Chains A and B, each alone.
Chain A
Amino acid sequence: MSNIQLDVKNLSVSFSTQAGKVHAVRDVSFSLHKGETLAIVGESGSGKTVTCRTLMRLLSKNASIDAGEILLEGTDILKVSERNMRHIRGNDIAMVFQDPMTSLDPTMKIGRQIEEVITLHRKVKRKEARKRMLELLQLVGIEDPRRRSRQYPHEFSGGQRQRIVISIVLACNPKVLIADEPTTALDVTMQAQIIDLLKSLQKKINTSIIFITHDLGVVANVADRVAVMYAGKIIEIGRADEIFYDPRHPYTWGLLNSMPTLDTSAPSLYTIPGAPPNLLKPPTGDAFAPRNEYALAVDELYEPPMFQISDTHYAATWLLDARAPKVNPPAVLNKRREEFIKRSGLYAES
């Protein structure tokens, strides 16, 4: 299919540490369509950042890619030489990191930092690079770019710094943009602005975005599709409305349920009991079973395969097996689903 921009197949990544091999990403497959936003959610340590760093081939030295392929428009970037990879980074795949404080060079004026990227990737003259730099700053909403380009990163606020990072990333019009928790360090108002900026830029240059976050509110805003990761695996993937209004995996239920809405007044919030498993020795069976109140006997023994729910919606839990007892998601989520059905009836989409 020509519609697929990036295709990740059976990717496994591990790290060798003093304590042994940590299986950080275990058999992850997903595809990214042209122009869409895929959100990857999960707790810290679930493997979302490692997955995306693998896409950029920016893993630390003790990491090894044990299996899988990453097809960027048909070419496996895991087989590309480091020299060619440098060309792919930035031009084809670019990344915005979580902390805008640390991804900019504090000793270099921000105008130079942006120009550097332009001159490295495009064979243009200094003067032209400068013109493009000012355009980019304008594009991401930095006022008075001529003056501000002569300032250092510490002279900008967190939100402005993140805008500058985004402008650097956009310098080469990448086909895939990976945003690794770009708004986590920012407060709500800034967060909303950065998300709006990313969305409007996506429309302008038609990039595909992989958006990593643990904030489900942000996901609801940006994502066309959502992948939920747990213990190095994707345990549920589907369109945003499928994940939010018709989640099937108990872990997704737990995640959605532990976030208060403005109407929440229960005496205590729902929490998922226990802690994620140790990936030094991943458990046999379903990794989520020890924390799962709906766990079945089979969970202890066999890992659940991906069950298909619709054309776009898949989940890995034995609860979806034909032989499993019927389990209803928590009442809160049912209520949310009913509200959705009611509303979409009112505003029927064409």
Chain B
Amino acid sequence: MQKANKILEVEQLVHTYDTGSMKVNAVNDINFYIKEGETFGLVGESGCGKTTTGRMIVKLLDITSGTIRYKGKDIAQIHHKKELMKFRREVQIIFQDPYASLDPRKKVRDIIAEGLDIHNMAASKKERDDIVAELLKTVGLNMDFASRYPHEFSGGQRQRVGIARALALNPQLVICDEPISALDVSIQAQVVNLLKELQKTKKLTYLFIAHDLSMVKYISDRIGVMYKGKLLEVGEAEEVYHNPIHPYTKSLISAIPLPDPYFERERRRVSYIPLPYREDLKLRELKPNHYVYCDDAGNF
């Protein structure tokens, strides 16, 4: 792969939730970058901070400390209305739950066109309808669906509406926050195919957040593995899956269920017991482009 520009750089990112009685570092000093046109997969168990990271990138959550740079610019420094609008157009998010992320009282047309209205991107009602029809076609939905309500659709169809909404503003970076976890296996494949195809035709960059490792491996160019707010391993998808270095990554990979009873009967799961936190642990490049969270001597 030739050298592409880094569209997103995350440095020493921290997010702290203050519950009143205690402070939780949901994201604790993570560093990674995403190159233009690639898919970066972020995997980890629930509660590891992957969604929090995604939400900070789209400015739905404030950054406690550290920086996120989008196209070289610190997103915390985007205050000016015009700049902020531009950022919001270019960075979009697809949410996990297609049942909760669509307003039940709005027609599909208005859900998809909401961004167009806010950003004054449709000059007339006709142009607005045309754009919506085009988007519905792009995501493989019937154009008549525009005047229907979300409850009339299945989970897979709703997720397509969510994708159409994210695409409406011609974004460059799309955060996919577990877009397939709530869907059936056969529908998952459809949505993943759609996302891949859109990436090709629209030159999109994805941050793909999920806990389903086989799907993430399939869709991603590079992968980051998160655990309790820390990024433990980053590298090319093939490399991380076939030569995992960190014990947590090994345990995750050993737990992936495969449709193969013989394999499942013989499988040995590796369990992971985290070591106590030490100051000298950080993400180090152990192999070219393969980073692992460890100390100087390579201990985890």
Chain A interface (Cβ within 8 Å of chain B)?
43-44, 157-158, 186-192, 214-221, 223, 240-241, 244-245, 254-256, 258-262, 264-265, 267-272, 275, 336, 340, 343-344
Contacts and interface: CB of A to CB of B under 8 A. Distances in A.
Interface residues of B, number: 38
B264 interface: yes
Given A214-B185, A262-B241, A188 B260 contact: no
Contact of A336 (B155, B260, B269): B260
A270 B193 CA distance: 9
A334 to B, nearest CB: 14
29 contacts: A44-B155, A44-B184, A157-B47, A158-B46, A187-B46, A188-B211, A188-B257, A189-B252, A190-B45, A192-B255, A214-B185, A215-B257, A217-B256, A220-B258, A220-B264, A221-B257, A244-B260, A254-B186, A258-B186, A258-B189, A261-B258, A264-B218, A267-B196, A268-B193, A268-B196, A268-B197, A269-B193, A269-B218, A271-B189
Contacts of A244: 259-261
Given A43-B184, A43-B186, A269-B189, A187 B45 contact: yes
A16 to B, nearest CB: 20
Given A188-B252, A192-B255, A340 B262 contact: yes
Contacts of B187: 43
B77 interface: no
Interface in B222-251: 241, 251
Nearest to A224: B261
Contacts of A221: 257, 261, 264, 267
Contacts of A344: 262
Q: Mostly helix, strand, loop or mixed at chain B's interface?
A: helix
Given A188-B212, A192-B255, A220 B263 contact: yes
Nearest to B238: A265
B56 interface: no
Nearest to A268: B193
A292 to B, nearest CB: 13
A134 B197 CA distance: 53
B189 A191 contact: no
B213 interface: yes
Nearest to B44: A187
A260 B257 contact: no
A343 B188 CA distance: 30
Contacts of B188: 258
Interface string B139-166: 0000000000000001100000000000
Contacts of B46: 158, 186-187, 190
Nearest to B265: A221
Contact of A188 (B154, B193, B213): B213
B259 A216 contact: yes
B220 to A, nearest CB: 12
Residue with the highest number of chain B CB atoms closer than 10 Å, among A192, A241, A256: A192
A187 to B, nearest CB: 4
A303 B188 CA distance: 29
A255 B186 contact: yes
B296 to A, nearest CB: 29
B217 interface: yes
A223 B193 CA distance: 29
Nearest to A226: B261
A260 B218 contact: yes
Nearest to A256: B259
A267 B218 CA distance: 9
B170 interface: no
